[in-house]
Amino acid sequence: MTPIFLNARCALFLLLVAFSLSAFAQGGSGDLPPVPKSTSSKAKPKPSTTKAKTTSPKSSAKVVVAKEPAKVAPIAFDQPLEGKIEAQTAGRIPPNVYYQDYVLTGTDADLFNIQISSLHASLKVELLDANKIMVPLKRNESSGEYHLNTPDQILPADGEYRVRVSVAPSPTLAAPVLFTLKINHLGLTAAGYKNRLEQIVKGFNPQKVEESIGQLERLSQDDPKQAGAYEYLGLLYNEFQKDQVKGSAAMMQAIKLGGSAIFKVAHDSQWRRPSRDRQNQRMSFPDLRTSWVKISSTQLTISDFNTIDKPMLTITKAQLKEANRFGQTSVLVIKHSNKLVKPDTINFALTTPNEADQVLDVIKGNLLRKE
């Protein structure tokens, strides 16, 4: 994206005025005069002539030409930048506007404001898109921050934009103007956040877990106030990296933001307790199913493995009566008072006893905690 500038050209035109003065004979009739006879061998002197006068070009005022800044540096969200506007390197819009541009890469999901601080009170901030069209900004008079003045306060499209800092001194820029510029990333729109999260989840590959974790971590940084990324980070840390410390931290953050801790569990179709196989001494459910358990600050839900957003059952905080681990196994026993869920005791198993204890801690810390 290039700034708007005016091309001005000046041409000086020289006017040459020549005056030729000749001597002419006087008298005579209308007939041609006769050829004069030579009376002397000496050549007659030639008539005198006068050199033509020329005018010198008039001096004109200096013309100001529009120019771009010598350098356009990138600027990132949340990274303060020390900048300056000086006559030799700044861009210029005739007659006396000096400016410096910075390239910002953003999306239509980014929410942000622009801060500028300087001893020079007349600095102005503008935003231009790739087509050199101004994107409307509105300045908060109390804080001095600039906000997008567009529908929903978002950028028109994904791409590169130029953040322009300008000053209009009178008559010239005698000394550099110093300033600090910062673009504060406030988060993402709900729709933009959801879209990115869905793309990460749909693109998940068990063979490339680290890639998905990196994408989720970046999403949590881009908007730390929404729970979705933390929910899936907790799940991946637990299930694939076997890191319960990081998993628990992500889950607690998700719950704090109104989300849930997510665990994969095994259970019987009728929620019956598992029985021990006599041959291998392992615990197994009569009719094995795999589902997702989601624990928030208000309820526990269990959803089918393929439809995590459609709970098969819900037990609220008020309905949950007791939660314990069955002996030394990884099976949890949940007692509740929800009349719509039969039986009033349900059983599900985690992968290991340690993970069962982790789930138990989440349940007790959020649903069985006495206020």
CATH number at residue 220: 1.25.40.10
- pLDDT higher for 18 or 28? 28
E-state strands within 129-269:
137-139, 146-148, 159-167, 177-188, 261-268
Residue that is written with structure tokens 């729709």 in the block: 191
- What's the confidence (pLDDT) of residue 1? 42
| Integer Cα distance of 128 and 26 in angstroms | 79
Classify residue 13: in a domain, yes or no. no
Residue 160 pLDDT exceeds 80: yes
- pLDDT (average), residues 81-85: 97
Domain presence at residue 7: no
Query: Binning pLDDT at 50, 70 and 90, where does residue 59 land?
Result: low
pLDDT at 49: 44
CA–CA distance, 212 with 232 (Å, rounded to integer):
9
pLDDT band at 343 (very low <50, low <70, confident <90, very high): very high
Q: What CATH number should be reported for the domain holding residue 138?
A: 2.60.120.380
Please state, in angstroms and rounded to a whole number, the distance separating the CA atoms of residues 320 and 297: 12
Give mean pLDDT, residues 105-117.
96
Q: Which domain holds residue 200?
A: 189-257
* pLDDT at residue 309 in the model: 84
**Residue 277 has what pLDDT?**
74
Inform me whether the pLDDT recorded for 348 exceeds 50.
yes
What local confidence, expressed as pLDDT, does residue 217 receive?
A: 98
* 181/210 same-domain check: no
In a shared domain, residues 171 and 217: no
Of the three residues 148, 169, 186, the one that is the final residue of a domain is 186
Specify burial of residue 280 (Cβ count, 10 A radius: 0-12, 13-18, 19+): exposed
The Cα 248–Cα 237 span in angstroms is 9
pLDDT at 64 over 60: yes
CB 325 within 8 A of CB 334: no
> 10 pLDDT exceeds 70?
no
Does residue 6 sit within a domain?
A: no
Residue 229 counted as domain residue: yes
What is the Cα 355 distance to its own chain's centre? 38
Give the pLDDT band (50/70/90) at residue 25. very low
Q: Are residues 102 and 166 in the same domain?
A: yes
At residue 352, the pLDDT reads 94
Position 300 scores a pLDDT of 98
Least-confidence region, from 58-72, 75-89, 195-209, 294-308: 58-72
End of a domain among 257, 290, 306? 257
10-19, 72-81, 312-321, 333-342: least confident range: 10-19
Please check whether residues 301 and 286 belong to one and the same domain: yes
Tokens linked to 308: 């995590």
Q: Does residue 41 register a pLDDT over 80?
A: no
Residue 62, pLDDT score: 65
pLDDT tops 70 at residue 281: no
Q: How far apart are CA 332 and CA 368, in angstroms?
A: 15
Residue 106 forms part of a structural domain: yes
**Residue 180 CA: distances (Å) to CA of 120, 125, 126, 253, 305:** 11, 12, 15, 33, 51
Instruction: Provide the mean pLDDT of the chain.
Output: 85
Q: In whole angstroms, what is the distance from residue 343 CA to residue 24 CA?
A: 135
DSSP run (H or E) holding 218? helix 209-222
pLDDT at residue 57 in the model? 55
Q: In this structure, are residues 304 and 320 in contact, taking their beta carbons and an 8 Å threshold?
A: no
Residue type, 91: G
The percent of residues above 90 in pLDDT, for the chain, comes to: 72
Whether residue 248 contacts residue 366, with contact meaning beta carbons closer than 8 Å, is answered with no
State how far the alpha carbon of 216 is from the alpha carbons of 32, 152, 206, in Å.
109, 25, 15
Quote the pLDDT of residue 27.
Answer: 41
CA distance 181 to 198: 34
Summarize the chain as % helix, strand, coil (round to 5). Answer: 20, 30, 50
Whole-number Å distance between alpha carbons of 342 and 326: 19
| Position with higher pLDDT, 96 vs 295 | 295
Do 294 and 355 fall into the same domain? Answer: yes
Average pLDDT of span 226-233: 98
Q: How does residue 153 score in pLDDT terms, banded at 50, 70 and 90?
A: very high
- What's the confidence (pLDDT) of residue 280? 67
Q: Which residues pair with 117 in a beta bridge?
A: 180
274 falls within a domain: yes
Count: domains in the chain? 3
Spatial distance between the Cα atoms of 113 and 187, rounded to a whole number of angstroms: 11
Note whether residue 12 is domain-resident.
no
